[in-house]
A = this chain, B = another copy of it.
Amino acid sequence: MLVILEPNVDESSEGYTEMWDMLHKLPNIQVRKHIVQGKQQVLTEIYLLGDTAKIDKAAVEQLPTVERVIRISEEYRILGRHKDGGRMIGFEYNGVTFDQDTLHVFAGLCAVDTPEHVEEMMQALSEHGQLCTRMGAYKPRTNPYSFQGHGRTCLSYVFELAGKYGIKVIAMEVTHENHIHEINACLEQTGHPTGILLQIGTRNTQNFELLKAVGRQDKFPVLLKRGFGITLSESLNAAEYLASEGNSRVIFCLRGMKTSFSDPHRNLVDFTHVPVVKRLTRMPVCIDPSHSVGSRELAPDGLSDIFHATAQGVISGCNMILVDFHPDPKTALVDGPQALLLEELPVFLEDIQIVRNAYIKRRKLSSRLN
């Protein structure tokens, strides 16, 4: 059961204390408080766990400082919608708003290789008005003898170049809790020139210890990739791990499913689940067309499969696009064949704009349906 308090409630008020004491007197019930800092206000949610069937909902709603009470299902307690249209969705981070209505492009390098490539990338983004990018420093690789990313050593120049070119948020994969500390230390040291969205990759979707570590910190929001070999429900439960530890600033990323049916694509694109994730949870939904498709092949209409996959996510209302670019894909250390070229960036962004406009028109249509 979820008790939503009045916005900006004062925890030292008499009403709050009375309510808090009453909840703790409920038999066989654990009380867990969860605070969300929104753009305009602070929201306090109290989860009642345990033998909640016997609780009188109306009585709880009468307690001081309580705004409303909703019964929640077992699954996705914190991140779920629970058919309550009024729950807060999304968050702001470093001046950028992430929710189920906005759309941000995170074009960038799958793996950081040289400062020159990072700068070329950042500059191109800046010239096209972009505030976000992706930069891979820690790379999990199937083969232990493959290049594993430059790790900590590249962080300072990546962060400083981001600052130079006005990039507000970098999506950066972490594979070990130490990476969070390394990133944080380097941000401190370089004077916080940018912000970091911690990315958890598809091989770690059910690395529950990593999820707990990332969920326990509140400095950085999280981009969680869907597991490529598990059900959607299992992946959403992984997101709930983050929230259950305290961090509900989570974006969920679709990136294709591993099955032989995907061929000639690397994965079977699953962006039809964009509306599903939005229906089941309050998370903004990201798509990763690069890892889904895995090649730059062109259709007879002159557009590449990556452009088409991106368009499919956008036409269904996705909120973020994670996409690989590279100034010189031939020399890329990881996943070169799927990186788009820098000269494609303006057309790619224009293509997204065309489709996004169509999505906005479609959304208006719905008023005539229901």
Q: Determine the distance from Cα of A276 to Cα of B243 in the docked complex, in whole angstroms.
A: 39
Q: In the complex, how many angstroms separate the beta carbon of A204 from the nearest chain B beta carbon? A: 6
A278 contact from B176, B257, B299, Cβ within 8 A: B299
A357 contact from B74, B302, B358, Cβ within 8 A: B358
The reply to whether B175 and A208 contact each other, CB–CB distance below 8 Å, is yes
Interface-lining segment among A35-43, A123-131, A183-191, A262-270: A262-270
The reply to whether B144 and A237 contact each other, CB–CB distance below 8 Å, is yes
Q: Tell me whether A264 and B276 are in contact in the complex, defined as CB-CB below 8 angstroms, given that A175-B209, A209-B176, A366-B303 are known contacts.
A: yes
Q: Which residues of B contact A259 (CB under 8 A)?
A: 257, 259-261, 268
The answer to whether A365 has its CB under 8 Å from any CB of chain B is yes
Of residues 70 through 90 on chain A, the ones whose CB sits less than 8 Å from some CB of chain B are 74-75, 77, 81, 85
The reply to whether B208 and A140 contact each other, CB–CB distance below 8 Å, is yes
The winner among A259, A350, A357 for most chain B CB atoms within 10 A is A259
The answer to whether A26 has its CB under 8 Å from any CB of chain B is no
Q: Determine the distance from Cα of A268 to Cα of B262 in the docked complex, in whole angstroms.
A: 11
Q: Tell me whether A362 and B303 are in contact in the complex, defined as CB-CB below 8 angstroms, given that A258-B229, A272-B308 are known contacts.
A: yes
A301 contact from B176, B210, B278, B307, Cβ within 8 A: B278
Q: Which residues of B contact A316 (CB under 8 A)?
A: 299, 308, 311-312
Interface-lining segment among A111-119, A290-298, A330-338: A290-298
The reply to whether B269 and A272 contact each other, CB–CB distance below 8 Å, is yes
Q: In the complex, how many angstroms separate the beta carbon of A151 from the nearest chain B beta carbon? A: 12
Q: Determine the distance from Cα of A308 to Cα of B357 in the docked complex, in whole angstroms.
A: 15
The reply to whether A275 and B261 contact each other, CB–CB distance below 8 Å, is no
Q: Which residues of B contact A21 (CB under 8 A)?
A: none
The reply to whether A362 and B351 contact each other, CB–CB distance below 8 Å, is yes
Quick one: CB contact mask for A290-329 with B, threshold 8 Å, 1 for yes?
A: 0011000111111101011101100111000000000000
The answer to whether A240 has its CB under 8 Å from any CB of chain B is yes
A347 contact from B144, B145, B350, B368, Cβ within 8 A: B368
A144 contact from B241, B368, B370, Cβ within 8 A: B241
The answer to whether A58 has its CB under 8 Å from any CB of chain B is no
The reply to whether A317 and B305 contact each other, CB–CB distance below 8 Å, is no
Q: Tell me whether A355 and B315 are in contact in the complex, defined as CB-CB below 8 angstroms, given that A260-B231, A302-B369 are known contacts.
A: yes
The reply to whether A312 and B229 contact each other, CB–CB distance below 8 Å, is no
A233 contact from B141, B145, B263, B354, Cβ within 8 A: B263
The winner among A140, A175, A293, A369 for most chain B CB atoms within 10 A is A369
Q: Give me 27 A-to-B residue pairs in the complex whose CB atoms sit less than 8 angstroms apart, sorted by A's number.
A: A77-B145, A81-B300, A85-B300, A203-B208, A204-B206, A227-B229, A229-B258, A230-B258, A232-B264, A257-B261, A268-B270, A272-B309, A274-B308, A276-B297, A278-B300, A279-B299, A279-B300, A299-B317, A301-B317, A302-B369, A303-B366, A303-B369, A311-B316, A312-B312, A315-B355, A354-B358, A357-B358
Contacts beyond the supplied A144-B240, A265-B273: 16 A-B pairs with Cβ under 8 Å: A140-B206, A141-B208, A142-B238, A143-B237, A143-B240, A204-B206, A259-B259, A261-B268, A268-B270, A279-B299, A303-B366, A308-B317, A312-B315, A344-B369, A347-B368, A354-B362
